[in-house]
Amino acid sequence: MRNTECGTAMESSLMNKDDNSPYHHGNLRAELLKTAAQQLQLVGVEKLSIRAVSRALGVSQSAPYRHFKNKNELLAALVKKGFSQLAQCQRRAKEGLTPTEALSAMGVAYVNFACAHPELFKLMFSSQSYCEQNDDPSEPKGEAFSGGEAFNELMATVEEGIQQGYFQERPSQEVAFAAWSIVHGLAYLTIDYSRIGIPKDATHHLVQSALDVFMRGVSAEGK
């Protein structure tokens, strides 16, 4: 798969630091998010705690509260970062491709992202809303949590495909929503492949086959 970065799990190595670590001087927030993402993958959202993140990173238990008021605010930042990473994966996946190829590649990238970061992916689409935890006045409430950036990448590809005659003349938002719905369902099924009896080594083939069926349904005649 061409988007290998989206199919690679977050780094797992952790370095112990004392309270006089450079983390307190400019990059503690980034390190907290990185370590929180690692902990999220290991223990899940329910067992994730700021105390455990502090311990894993090697900083005092009070240090994280300079950046995050509580656990929900930390989770909100993880969700925001997750959607940004997902959009980056989709941009990389579609580079240099025709709209038809790009739509399929973006679908594979979406599923790869979910498989590489299953706990983060489930958190991003959790029924629990973390939008109200966003206290940045420069950022509209909920903007980073709606998947807008990733959906815009999808919309741009669909609109380009319709304009260039690759896709049927349909409302672009409807096509984009249908595409998102399919790959989102595929992502969840792939994450939980063992629960529904799908062999792990068969998931890529099944995902690609499902995307091919969808592409035949939206492609313009002769494309």
% residues pLDDT > 90 (the chain):
50
pLDDT at 86 over 50: yes
Say what the pLDDT of residue 2 is: 53
Say what the pLDDT of residue 170 is: 92
pLDDT at 8 over 90: no
Say what the pLDDT of residue 15 is: 34
Tell me which of 3.30.70, 1.10.3470, 1.10.10, 1.10.730 is the CATH number of domain 11-68. Answer: 1.10.10
167, β-bridge pairs: 219
Q: What is the pLDDT of residues 92-112, one digit of tens each?
A: 999 999 999 999 999 999 999
- What is the distance between the terminal CA atoms of the chain, rounded to a whole angstrom? 23
Say what the pLDDT of residue 89 is: 94
- Diameter of the chain by CA atoms? 65
Say what the pLDDT of residue 130 is: 55
For 37-42, which contacts have Cβ atoms below 8 Å and span 24 or more sequence positions? Answer: 37/10, 37/78, 37/81, 37/117, 37/120, 38/10, 38/11, 38/12, 38/14, 40/78, 40/119, 40/120, 40/123, 41/9, 41/10, 41/117, 41/118, 41/119, 41/120
Alpha-carbon distance of 86 to 31, in angstroms, equals 20
Q: What is the pLDDT of residues 140-161, one digit of tens each?
A: 444 444 578 889 999 999 999 9
Tell me which of 3.55.40.10, 3.30.43.10, 1.10.357.10, 1.10.10.10 is the CATH number of domain 79-223. Answer: 1.10.357.10
Say what the pLDDT of residue 20 is: 44
Residue that wins the pLDDT comparison between 54 and 196: 54
Q: Where in the chain is the domain with CATH 1.10.357.10?
A: 79-223
Q: Where in the chain is the domain with CATH 1.10.10?
A: 11-68
pLDDT at 222 over 70: no
59, 28 Cβ separation under 8 angstroms = yes
